[in-house]
Amino acid sequence: MRLSKEQLHELISKKLHKAGLTEDHASGVADVLVHADARGVHSHGAMRVEYYAERIAKGGLNNNPDFKFEKTGPCSAIFDGDNGVGHVGAKLAMDEAIKMAKENGIAVVGVRRIGHSGALSYFVQQAADADLVGISVCQSDPMVVPFGGAEPYYGTNPLAFAAPGKDGKHITFDMATTVQAWGKILHARSKNEPIPDTWAVDSNGESTTDPFKVNALLPIAGPKGYGLMMMVDVLSGILLGLPFGNKVSSMYHDLTEGRNLGQLHIVINPEFFTGLGSFKEAISQTMQDLNEIKPAPGYDQVYYPGQRSAEREEAYEKDGIEIVDHIYEYLISDVVHNNAYDHKSPFAK
């Protein structure tokens, strides 16, 4: 199916509101999910709605959270999400970080006790849209074997970065510290497609191409990815006094309990360093330089980070966003959830 942004947003909002979220929070979650689908990151888009709806309906997300924001210094603060939907908490925390960075040059805001917050690119682009540099990291449940290990310890622990150039264009970078995010496994399952043998391992620690046999993911670049996921866990878990490592709650194990996840936003104001005009000029020059590099055999051109996602978004604006048929059927149905997630397993069916 192909839907406009507005159509998809309305379907997602209605489903989440029916599950129990306020209309405002349902709309806030839909903002982030539509952003992901519009940029071609379908693993973090509408396919997540059924999971969220089940967790909401079963009490694992606070439908009426008491958000609290506390400054702990001129450039630092803590946002407590009270186990509400992470998308809304992380967005509001970034709004506060932007205000602080505008005034003081830099802001570091820890986001405590939230649910899953979706694609981090949404939040760093909030900063870039405000002519600031944005960095965001967040922890996730253990599903990755550390380098040299046979048992999961860390999560996919993603990180994202965005910087503004001229004419509203941004360099944007959003990645899991694994070869692929768990959502990519779910996306392969939803389409009943195999995965590359470099993404994950089965229960015996052997590489697998069957997304239904995945027991753990692999860190990107071996020990380098292992080090990055450790860094993210420290910044978004230990630094905020939250559970860390294999103590982070599972996304799928018990949908009746809040997850108490952590996220960290870092926002930098170029005006306090090189000046906004010269900064944006240099970012745009970087984009142009990268585009003009001679492509390697088999490639049409070199893209700057985030360029292909931005081009997909432009194409989807014209032709509509691609949504897998069974996900569309769920969105338009009267079903809120159908116990699609197995609480006895750390992973979804």
Q: How many CA atoms lie within 13 A of 178 on its CB side?
A: 27
| CB-count burial class (<10 Å; 0-12, 13-18, 19+) for 148 | exposed
At residue 301, φ and ψ (nearest 5 deg) are -165, 170
| Helix (H) / strand (E) containing 138 | strand 133-138
| Helix (H) / strand (E) containing 84 | strand 76-84
In the block, tokens 């069974």 appear at: 326
CA 228, CA 177: separation in Å to the nearest integer? Answer: 6
Provide the angle, in degrees to the nearest 10, between the axes of the packed helices 325-332 and 5-19. 50
In the block, tokens 């952003």 appear at: 35
In the block, tokens 């692999």 appear at: 218
42 is catalytic: no
CA 37, CA 52: separation in Å to the nearest integer? Answer: 16
Radius of gyration of the chain from Cα atoms?
20
Longest dimension (CA), the chain: 55
DSSP calls for 273-317: TT-HHHHHHHHHHHHHHHHHSPPPTT-S----TTHHHHHHHHHHH
Catalytic residue of the set 42, 116, 265, 337: 116
252 — alpha (psi -120 to 50), left (phi > 0) or beta? alpha
- Sign of the alpha-carbon dihedral angle for 316, 45, 244, 134: positive
Task: Tell me which residues are annotated as active site.
Answer: 116
